Amino acid sequence: MLANPGIDPWVPPPGRRILVPCQVLIPQRFMKFKGIVVNLPEMRLYYFKKNKVFIAPVGIGEKGKLPFSGIYTIVRKKKDPTWYPPPSIRKEEPDLPKIVPPGPDNPMGKYVLYLSRGLFAIHGTNKVYSIGRRSTHGCIRLYPEDIEELFYQVPLGTRVLITYEPYKLAIEGNKIFIQCYPDVENKIKDPLLFIIKKLEKLTVKTGADYHINLLEIQKFLKNPDGLIHKIGNIIKD
């Protein structure tokens, strides 16, 4: 939707050319984390294991219902879960039953990875159209086929980093790239300063100087499109 503004995501006009982004910028910080990384504004999950990475789109919490950023641990795994709607959800939806057994009506889908903090979990869904949207009460939803693959790859005790990074940076060779997503909770007070500080962290170890196009960056911040853009260069002696 970000890459194709103005196009109905449910019924695209017949014959209309649509851009489907396939490239993903993976920050160095993500790659160094051994386990699962969930970047909330990006609505994407990464699982790093040895020299491979599994990447999947996710559905995240509605406004004000995002999980806290930080490190969690997978403490339990369950196939064909029973869902017990918590009081907070039953208050919003009083017609919900107290217990939802496994099956097609279970909003958790067929597989669940329970996290160590709060009532949060990574699970499937019976509403596939909710993926890539703000559609949950705080949990992380995946497509049924993605959670099934993840469920059998991830052992108990795996660490999970939940982070909030709408603006991702990476350096490849002497080129600097950015990938921008909406700051969905308006947490970044000064996006340009946020980006410059991240870039300083990336270059401080090498002591390299750099040149960036501030006008280009501001353009992407104003209209984040989820695509990867070159914004500058490393200046070598």
Q: Which residues are catalytic?
A: 123, 139
Report yes or no: 170 and 177 within 8 Å, Cβ to Cβ.
yes
- Which tokens in the block code for residue 219? 């353009």
What's the CA angle centered on 126, arms 123 and 131, to 5 degrees?
65
Residue with tokens 């509605």: 62
Radius of gyration in angstroms for the set of CA atoms belonging to the chain, rounded to a whole number: 19
Q: Which two tokens stand for residue 233?
A: 């260069």
Q: Look at residues 139, 146, 221 and name the one whose alpha carbon lies nearest to residue 178.
A: 221
Cα 85 from Cα 137, distance rounded (Å):
11
Task: Measure the CA–CA gap between 204 and 175, rounded to whole angstroms.
Answer: 16
Separation CA 210–CA 232 (nearest Å): 7
What DSSP element (H or E) covers 216? helix 214-222
- Tell how many helices (H) and how many strands (E) occur in the chain: 5, 13
Sign of the C-alpha dihedral computed for residues 200, 29, 55 and 120 taken in this order: negative
| DSSP annotation of 205 | T
